[in-house]
Structure 1
Amino acid sequence: MYLLVQLQRLLDKTRAFDFLGPLALRLYLVPIFWMAGTKKLADMDSIIAWFGNTEWGLGLPFPEVMAWAAALTETAGAIMLLVGFAVRWISIPLMVTMVVAIVTVHLPNGWLAIAEGSGPFATERTMAAIERLDRAKEILQQYGNYDWLTEYGNFVVLNNGIEFAVTYFIMLLVLFFIGGGRYFSMDYWIRKAFMR
C-alpha cells in the first residue's frame, strides 16, 4: 500500500507538466490543417468543382459555400491552434470538416490510409493494391534505379481510408474537452486576465 501511495504522489507531480499534452496535439494538427486549407484556397475553382460534381467529385450541395467554409475553417483553425486561441470553439467546425471528409471521401475506402495486404483491416481493395505495388516494384527494379528511388523510404499505395481523418477527429475531440492547455495558449492568458 505504501508503494502505491508513493507512486500516486509521483504521478501527481507530473501534473505540473500537463500543458504538454494539449500543446503537442495542437502543434501536431497545425501543419495538417494549414496545408489542407491553403491548398484549397490556392485553387478554389477546382475545389468548388470537385465539391459539387456528382460524376467525379463529391456531389455536395452548395459546393461554393462548402468549399469556402472548409478552406477558411482549416486555415483559420491552423492559426488558432498554433496560438491556442479559442481552441475549444475552433475544434467544433474542424471536427465537422473531418466528419464530412470521412463520410464523403474516405469511408468507401475502408479504414486503412495506406494499403496493406493483410491484417484485420485489410480489404479486397487493399489486397489488390499490394499486388499492383509488387508489380510496380518489379518494373522499377528492372528498369529504374530502385536503390536510389527507395533510399529515403519504401513505396506504398495510398488507400485513402478513414484512418487519418478519424485520428484527427479524436485529437480535436480531446482538445474540445481539455482546451488549449496552460502557459502556451492565448486562452490560458485571456482566462487568467479576465476571469479571475
Structure 2
Amino acid sequence: MNIRDIDFAALIDRSVVLCREISRWLDKVKGLDFLAPLLLRLYLAPVLWMAGTKKIANFSSTVDWFGNTDWGLGMPLPWLMVLLTIMVEILGALFLLFGFGVRLISLPLMVVMVVAAITVHWQYGWLAIAGDSGLFATDRTMAAMERLEQAKAILQQYGDYNWLTEKGNFVVLNNGIEFAATYFIMLLVLFFMGGGRYVSADYWLTRKYY
C-alpha cells in the first residue's frame, strides 16, 4: 500500500477517539486514588515503628553511638537527639497508621531521613546492598562483591551451602543512602497528598469540622 493511499485525517480522528476513551477510563480509576497514600502509610508505619522501638530497646548504646566522635556520629546532646528521634519515629508510625496529621508528621520524619542520610549513610554512596554493576556501583561495592564471592566459595567448600541459602542469598550491606532517600520521597508524596480519602482520620475530621 502506498503511503499516499492512507487517510491520515481518519487515522487522526480514530486516535483522538481512542485517547478520549482511555481518558474516560482513567477518570473512573480516580475513584481508587485513596489506595496510593494508604499503601504508602501502611508501608512506612512498621518501618518507623521498628526503628523507634529498636532505639528504645538499645537506648544506652544508641546514645553512645550518637555522641561518640571517634566511632559514632559525634552529635551534641546525644541523649536528647535519640529521644527526639524515637518520639518522631514512634508517633510517626502511629500517625501514619491511622492517617492522623499525616502532612504535619511528614515534615519531622523527612528531617529524620535527611539527617540519617547525611550523617550515617552519605559516605557509603547510594546502594543499600552492595552490587557489582550498574550506575551506582563504586570501588567500595566492587570490593565488597569480590569479598562476598570469596566468602561464598569458602561456604560452598566447607559448609552445606544449599541449606545455608535455601531461605535467601548472602549479600553485603553497603549502608548507602538508598533506603533513607526512598523513605524521604514517600514521605514527600504524603506531605503533598495527605492521608487520602475514606481510610484516614484526617479525611473524616476534615469532613466533620471544615
1:189 is matched with 204
Aligned counterparts of 1:143 and 1:34: Cα–Cα separation in 2 = 39
Moved over 2 A (4+): none
Measure how far apart 1:102 and its partner are.
Answer: 0.2
Aligned counterparts of 1:119 and 1:6: Cα–Cα separation in 2 = 39
Aligned counterparts of 2:78 and 2:36: Cα–Cα separation in 1 = 36
Pick one of 66, 71, 89 that aligns with 1:51: 66
Aligned counterparts of 1:172 and 1:61: Cα–Cα separation in 2 = 27
Alignment of 1:107-186 (within 5 A): 107-186=122-201
Secondary structure of the structure 1 residue equivalent to 2:40: helix
CA-to-partner distance for each residue in 1:155-174, whole Å, 9 max, x for gaps?
00000000111000000000
Aligned counterparts of 1:92 and 1:15: Cα–Cα separation in 2 = 27
Aligned counterparts of 2:138 and 2:74: Cα–Cα separation in 1 = 25
CA-to-partner distance for each residue in 1:67-126, whole Å, 9 max, x for gaps?
101111101100110000000000000000000000000000000000001211111110
Measure how far apart 1:32 and its partner are.
Answer: 0.7
| Gapped regions of structure 1 (runs ≥ 5) | none
Aligned counterparts of 1:120 and 1:19: Cα–Cα separation in 2 = 34
| Gapped regions of structure 2 (runs ≥ 5) | 1-15
Aligned counterparts of 1:71 and 1:125: Cα–Cα separation in 2 = 31
Alignment of 1:77-96 (within 5 A): 77-96=92-111
Q: CA RMSD in A?
A: 0.7
Q: Structure 2 length normalisation: TM-score?
A: 0.91
2:52 is matched with 37
Secondary structure of the structure 1 residue equivalent to 2:69: coil
Secondary structure of the structure 2 residue equivalent to 1:56: coil
Pick one of 8, 17, 20 that aligns with 1:2: 17
CA-to-partner distance for each residue in 1:11-52, whole Å, 9 max, x for gaps?
000111000000010001011101100000112111111100
Identity %: 64
Identify the range of structure 1 (106-115 vs 117-126) with the bigger mean alpha-carbon deviation: 117-126
